[in-house]
Structure formats: C-alpha cells, structure tokens
C-alpha cells in the first residue's frame, strides 16, 4: 500500500513529499516537444490547404499552429524553471 506523507513549510504552504518533488517537471521536460510536433503538423496542413486553394481553412490551420507553438514555448519555459520555485509569488 502506498503511504503519502504530507508536510507543511514554515509559512503554511504544503510541501510535497520527496518522491513527488522528484517527478514534478519530469513530464514537462520529456514531453514539451509534442507541442512543436503539433505546430509543425498544423502548419503543414495549413500550407497544403492554401496550396489547394482553400484560404479560409489554411488561415485557420495557421492560427492553430501558432497556438501550438505558443503552448510549446510556454511549457518549455515552465520545464526550465528551477524546481520548487513558486509561480504565485
């Protein structure tokens, strides 16, 4: 059975157990590249749509590609942050 120990820091914030702290950010570091792959696929889809004369779909796909690219940059920045840094301070 898995036991979870919860502790609090001196200022009252909850402190994650060491096993949780070690796994935090690991997903972001290993999988933030998927946003760039998604952006590339949507951009390719936009280029193909524009090539075949469907401007409305092409522009929509290019906008979606830009959102995926922005998400990739955001999650890359989040993954590079030092562990334990508070985002709400």
Query: Does residue 13 lie within any of the structural domains?
Result: no
Whole-model pTM above 0.85? no
pLDDT in tens, 41-62: 999 999 999 999 999 999 999 9
Q: How many residues does the chain have?
A: 89
Query: Does residue 61 lie within any of the structural domains?
Result: yes
pLDDT in tens, 1-14: 555 555 555 555 55
Query: Does residue 19 lie within any of the structural domains?
Result: no
pLDDT in tens, 58-86: 999 999 999 999 999 998 888 777 776 65
Range of the domain at 44: 31-81
Query: Does residue 74 lie within any of the structural domains?
Result: yes
What is the number of structural domains in the chain?
A: 1
Residues β-bridged to residue 14: 8
Query: Does residue 75 lie within any of the structural domains?
Result: yes
Query: Does residue 58 lie within any of the structural domains?
Result: yes
Query: Does residue 18 lie within any of the structural domains?
Result: no
Q: Which long-range contacts (CB under 8 A, 24 or more apart) does 61-66 make?
A: 65/39, 65/40, 66/39
Q: What is the mean pLDDT of residues 18-28?
A: 51
Q: Strand, helix or coil at 87?
A: coil
């Amino acid at each position: 059975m898995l036991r979870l120990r919860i502790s609090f820091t001196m200022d009252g914030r909850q402190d994650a157990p060491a096993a949780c702290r070690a796994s935090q950010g690991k997903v972001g570091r290993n999988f933030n590249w998927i946003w760039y792959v998604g952006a590339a696929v949507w951009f390719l889809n936009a280029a193909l749509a524009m090539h075949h004369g469907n401007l409305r779909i092409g522009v929509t796909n290019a906008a979606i590609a830009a959102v995926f690219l922005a998400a990739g940059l955001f999650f890359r920045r989040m993954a590079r942050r030092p562990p334990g840094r508070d985002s709400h301070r």
